[in-house]
Structure 1
Amino acid sequence: MDDRSLNGNILIVDDKADNLRLLSRMLGQRGYEVRSAISGSAALMAVRALPPDLILLDINMPAMNGYQVCEELKACEQTGAIPIIFLSALSDTADKVKAFRIGGADYITKPFQVEEVLARVENQLTLRQMQLKLQRSNQKLMQEVQQRKRAQDILQDSEAALRQRTQEMEAALEELRLTQMQLVQSEKMSSLGQLVAGVAHEINNPINFIHGNLRPARDYAEHLLMLIQAYQKSAPTPPELQAQMDSIDLDFVKQDLPQLLESMQVGIDRIMGIIRSLRTFSRLDEADIKTVDLHDGLDSTLMILSNRLKQEDNSDGVEIVKCYGDLPRVECYPGQLNQVFMNILTNALDAIEDENSQRLAQGRSPQLGQITISTRITEAQTVQISILDNGPGMPDSVQQRLFDPFFTTKPIGRGTGLGMSISYRIITERHRGTLSCTSTLGQGTEFVITIPLQQSQSQPQSLTMHGREEAGLSPEPC
């Protein structure tokens, strides 16, 4: 069926004009494109001029009856596939058998029943459409078979040469892949440095503004609280004012406001320390070695993570156990060490929380998460910080790649794979120390940081943003 009509092109052949008008009107109202021929010879001319999708052919016609028209059409290759529905007042079985034997597709007995004619026409046009579709599919399949056969012949003829060429291409691709990985790794680290520099610069300005205004705000708040206290002592409190003071819980506000401002000050100081560390990574400026109490850095990091830790007034969160030794003040880069603490503690919290989420999904009770932080002085006069969790632990395959850049076991969007790599370089390159990991599946993970009490003044003053292989370094065995 072509695009000449939405429903199909039908040729009606009958020597009776009334029958032609009736069938033409009936089919035309259903959207078919209808042509008519009043004799057998006229029908043959119409078919040769424009082959229809279906022919309604009367049997009893003068000069050339329907059987003769059908036989001539079926004998021609171009018209032999056109379906023909015979129209006749003859109801004898022999007539019907002859009609089907010479190639008729269907038979309609006069007088016509509208619904029967429409149903049989629609059925034949549907069959015709399916036949044409099948023919096109078969032709396409034959073409594909021939193309594949030709390709197979060519492949067999050049098999030896192709095998050699394939081996050469595989070797070239492997070399290209290795080179590309090195270039991508180098570009990522370079881009990271630029990104960190930009982020640190953009954050630094508003943070400096907040930091500069926070101390005056604390002084103003202190003065106002002193004024309120003096007013309460020296002047009677009207009932309306007392009711307002009770509604806002003034005593609690006076106690909590200084603590809130102090927490904000600690948080701002921590953010500024992180910004200084980020600027150091991007080599915009250099951080100075300072003599500090490492416990202060650990405590400030825990404060930033306090929303995920167990508090005294509730049982949620991970419990922190501090086993601090008697440490002297240590020469180090405190902002960078705090970043290492943050990376290790965050990973431990993620592991414990993910394990408990899986336990809940399996219908099991979550376990109490616990992180133990221990510090001590070693016999070699170094400081050792141990961070031990009771999470799910790691397999050997993960431990072996733990400090590789961009390696992460977290889903996309939750981790960049750079935290432990950067932490490793902070400890080994900047502090001439060691960072090791010991983990057993089902028993938890322990990270041990060891750094000297004093830092040499001859050590590098900035972290390189390159891989450990370029720096001649390798991770501690886990």
Structure 2
Amino acid sequence: MSDAFQQVTQTNQELFSVVEQLQNEILEREQIETALQQSEEQFRNQARHLEQTLIELRQAQMQLIQSEKMSGLGQLVAGVAHEINNPVNFIYGNLTYATEYVQQLLQLLEVYQQQYPHSTPALNAVLEQIDLEFVLADLPKTLASMRVGVERIRDIIKSLRIFSRLDEAEIKSVDIHDGIDSTLLILQSRLKANGSNPGIVVVKDYRQLPRVECYAGQLNQVFMNILTNAIDAIEEARNRKPMPKGQTDELLASQIADCLPATITIRTQAADGQIIIRISDNGLGMPEKVRKQLFEPFFTTKPIGQGTGLGMSISHQIIVEKHQGRLECYSTLGKGTEFVITIPTRLNPESGKS
């Protein structure tokens, strides 16, 4: 019995040893799995951190590009406006005196004609050569047209200064319509008819708006980006060739664009402490897939070298982050595109700070 008991005891000890070894192996494996899970979670956290860092770097790059672009454009526009302003003011100021002097000389000439009705042969020859009657009729008109031209230049300079906004505080209460009109003036060369280009009709439906507290220069840049895109869409519609069979949507868009007059419509209204600006065109429109990606950084449908893919992304950032507003895009292929800008009339001073 003692031998059997010893044998059973030895067997139990061996079993306990095996069980203990298995438990140690299981514990060790659990520890390894826990360590692997912790390492995997750590790698995921690092990946998320790197992804966030990449996003921040790309945003910083966009902001630097935007700041440099805005600074360069603003300085160029302001510099041109300043250089033109001084000589134009000189001409404008002297036109008043020139008009007065010409009127006095014409009055004197009229008195001479009354006092000395009989002229000499030499004087008659000169009078025939210069066509005095035409000069007397046309000279006041010439001065008037010169005044109109100079006033037009002064309006252009004013619009350039409004567009650049370099001489104003960063946040300022402004008339939104002035900003839109100044941007349209900058783009006038692409809007007006010229040769074979029939031009683009701009329809303004301006409602009464309060003054808006905003980053005026940056808001004007948003107008510039949206209006430029609208012009590009209309020009693309004009230049679009007929599509192959099977692409009925594209062909329909091209046919519609050819039939309708090229039009950009701008509507403004105030509602519930906000300003709503709608800018629409009757270009080709865009597919839903393109519309969803429109505000993504570096996304562009233009050929390489013709677009950076930053304009609409930066515009979205300016409206949403800087002005606590919304920038929305609605588009239907063949019916054009509409951008809707919604911003508050009063800007929180803390907005735009980072």
Cα distance, 1:387 vs structure 2: 1.0
Work out whether residues 225 and 311 of structure 2, in 8 Å CA contact, stay in contact via their aligned partners in 1. Answer: yes
* Cα distance between partner residues in 1 of 2:218 and 2:184: 15
Distance in 2 between the 1:192 and 1:460 partners? 14
* Aligned counterpart, 2:92: 218
Distance 1:357 1:432, change over 3 A: same
Q: How well do the aligned residues superpose, as a CA RMSD in angstroms? A: 3.8
Q: Supply the distance in 1 between the matched residues of 2:269 and 2:70 (Cα, whole angstroms).
A: 33
Aligned to 2:260: 367
Partner of 1:391: 283
1:288 to 160, 171, 191: 171
Q: Which amino acid aligns with 2:334?
A: G
**% identical equivalent positions:** 38
Instruction: Determine helix, strand or coil for the equivalent of 2:342.
Output: strand
CA contact (8 A) 1:360 1:366 kept: no
Could you tell me which residue of structure 2 aligns to residue 272 of structure 1? Answer: 161
Asked whether the equivalents of residues 386 and 446 of structure 1 are also in contact (C-alpha less than 8 Å), the reply is yes
Contact in 2 for aligned 1:356/1:367 (Cα 8 Å): no
The separation in 2 between residues aligned to 1:342 and 1:248, in whole angstroms, is: 44
| Higher RCO (C-alpha 8 Å, min separation 6) | 2
Deviation at 1:385, TM superposition (A): 0.9
Separation of aligned partners in 1, 2:133 and 2:170: 50
Deviations 1:422-457 (A, max 9, x none): 222222222221111001111111111111122223
Partner in structure 1 of residue 333 of structure 2:
441
Partner of 2:246: none
Is the partner of 1:297 in helix, strand or coil? helix
1:383 and 1:453 in contact (8 A); partners too: yes
Contact 1:274 1:336 in 2 (8 A): no
Contact 2:159 2:185 in 1 (8 A): no
The corresponding residue for 1:90 is: none
1:10-159 equivalent positions in 2, closer than 5 A: none
CA contact (8 A) 1:384 1:448 kept: yes
- TM-score of the aligned structures, taking structure 1 as reference length: 0.49
Structure 1: gaps (5+ residues): 1-173, 280-284, 465-478
| Paired residue secondary structure (2:222) | helix
Between Structure 1 and Structure 2, the one with more helix by share is: 2
Q: Secondary structure of the equivalent of 1:289? A: strand
> How many residue pairs get matched?
278
User: 1:135-154: per-residue Cα shift (whole Å, max 9, x none)?
Assistant: xxxxxxxxxxxxxxxxxxxx
| d(CA) in 2 for partners of 1:243, 1:407 | 66
- Correspondences of 1:305-454 after superposition (within 5 Å): 305-309=187-191, 316-358=198-240, 365=258, 367-378=260-271, 380-454=272-346
Cα offset, 1:339, TM superposition: 2.3
Mapped partners of 2:265, 2:69: distance in 1: 34
- Shift, 1:249, TM fit: 5.2
After TM superposition, the score normalised by the length of structure 2 is 0.65
CA offset digits 1:274-310 (Å, max 9, x no partner):
4446x9xxxxx952312x3322322332233333436
Q: Which of 249, 257, 263 is matched with 2:146 structurally?
A: 257
Over 3 Å counting, the alpha-carbon distance change for 1:454 and 1:216 in structure 2 is same
CA–CA distance in structure 1, aligned partners of residues 302 and 201 of structure 2: 23
Quote the Cα distance in structure 2 between the aligned partners of 1:409 and 1:243: 63
